[in-house]
């Protein structure tokens, strides 16, 4: 499912002494099946932008299009249901007595039949790598990683075509982070979902996404492939961002070993490059 924003501007508290332009004439297209990362320092407009993708916020001016149809008017409700947003620390929104009821909540509110609700809940639990035994448990008995998956399952049970994730691994230990990103990567590859990742982690962005949108002061500063964006280290640092740490390490190593390729973004790439150099030696 494609998303397009055209001349999108959003102003908080418009007409008050506290008026602030959060998005300033944004133009962006995200194609069906893409895995896009959105990065920027705090206050750059990342979260404000993605909240327009399913109508949580309405543009002060400009338009949002879902599959070519404007997210406005009578069709807005149907269109925005195609975009699921998982906010930071989504487990804080768990509230039902059981995991089953929490995952089913949105489906019940949508008025779906009992059999269809049950099918979708069980399908989503399996998709998230959880056992059906967990369905009868209280969500508050679960580990942090399990809670995060259950919260995501409640969004995925609604079967959106696009999944927006705002810092999905925030607060998790390394094992929990790996599990969540493996699941997200699997959803993108196996379910052909359009995935949009908002993150402060350059390492996560470099490892998983295909294209990066860099935001600064409510505008798009850069947009391109992961490698092309992270190669612009000086420009990133000028706006308070950075390339992945492994990129800096490889650039330092290149000063000692000139034949090394320092166009490296992930630990896996660095390992392969160093092994290649060792074999030559």
Mean pLDDT of 232-237: 96
pLDDT, tens digit, 9 for 90 and up, residues 257-267: 999 999 999 99
- CATH topology for 1-82+161-174+184-242 is Rossmann fold (3.40.50)
Q: Is the pLDDT of residue 60 over 90?
A: yes
For residue 11, is pLDDT > 80?
A: yes
Residue with the bigger pLDDT between 94 and 47: it is 47
pLDDT tens-digit readout, 16-57: 999 999 999 999 999 999 999 999 999 999 999 999 999 999
Chain centroid to CA 122: 24
Q: What's residue 1's pLDDT?
A: 79
Average pLDDT over residues 116-141: 93
Burial of 30 (0-12, 13-18, 19+ CB in 10 A): buried
Contacts of 63 (CB under 8 A, 6+ apart): 5, 6, 7, 8, 70, 71, 72
Quick one: average pLDDT of 235-253?
95
Tens digits of residue pLDDT in 197-222: 999 999 999 999 999 999 999 999 99
Share of the chain above pLDDT 90, in %: 75
Average pLDDT value for the chain: 93
Task: Kindly report whether the global pTM for this prediction surpasses the value 0.85.
Answer: yes
User: Does residue 190 register a pLDDT over 80?
Assistant: yes
Q: In whole angstroms, what is the distance from residue 14 CA to residue 20 CA? A: 7
- Give me 42's structure tokens: 């705090």
Domain borders along the chain are 1-82+161-174+184-242, 94-159, 244-281
Q: Is the pLDDT of residue 147 over 90?
A: no
For the segment 228-245, the average pLDDT, to the nearest whole number, is 95
Among the listed residues 154, 142, 64, 60, the one whose alpha carbon sits nearest the alpha carbon of residue 106: 154
């Amino acid at each position: 499912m494609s998303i397009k924003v055209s001349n999108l501007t959003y102003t908080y508290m418009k007409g008050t002494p506290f008026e602030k332009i959060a998005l300033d004439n944004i133009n962006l297209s995200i194609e069906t099946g893409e895995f896009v990362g959105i990065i920027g320092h705090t206050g750059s407009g990342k979260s404000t932008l993605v909240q327009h993708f399913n109508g949580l916020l309405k543009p002060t001016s400009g338009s949002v299009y879902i599959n070519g149809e404007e997210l406005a008017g009578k069709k807005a409700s149907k269109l925005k249901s195609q975009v699921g947003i998982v906010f930071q620390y989504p487990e804080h929104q768990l509230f039902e007595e059981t995991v089953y009821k929490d995952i089913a909540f949105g489906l019940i509110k949508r008025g779906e039949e009992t059999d269809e609700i049950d099918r979708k809940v069980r399908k989503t639990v399996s998709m998230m790598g959880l056992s059906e035994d967990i369905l009868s448990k209280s969500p508050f008995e679960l580990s942090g990683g399990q809670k995060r998956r259950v919260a995501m399952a409640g969004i995925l049970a609604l079967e959106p075509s696009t999944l927006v994730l705002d810092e999905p691994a925030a607060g998790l230990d390394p094992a929990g982070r790996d599990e969540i990103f493996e699941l997200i990567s699997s959803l993108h590859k196996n379910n052909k979902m359009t995935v949009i990742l908002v993150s402060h982690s350059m390492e996560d962005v470099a490892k998983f996404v295909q294209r990066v949108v860099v935001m600064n002061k409510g505008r798009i500063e850069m947009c391109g492939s992961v490698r092309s964006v992270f190669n612009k280290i000086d420009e990133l640092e000028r706006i308070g961002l950075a390339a992945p740490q492994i990129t800096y390490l490889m650039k330092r190593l290149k000063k000692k070993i000139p034949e090394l390729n320092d166009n490296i973004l992930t630990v896996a790439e660095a390992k392969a490059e160093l092994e290649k150099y060792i074999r030559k030696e």
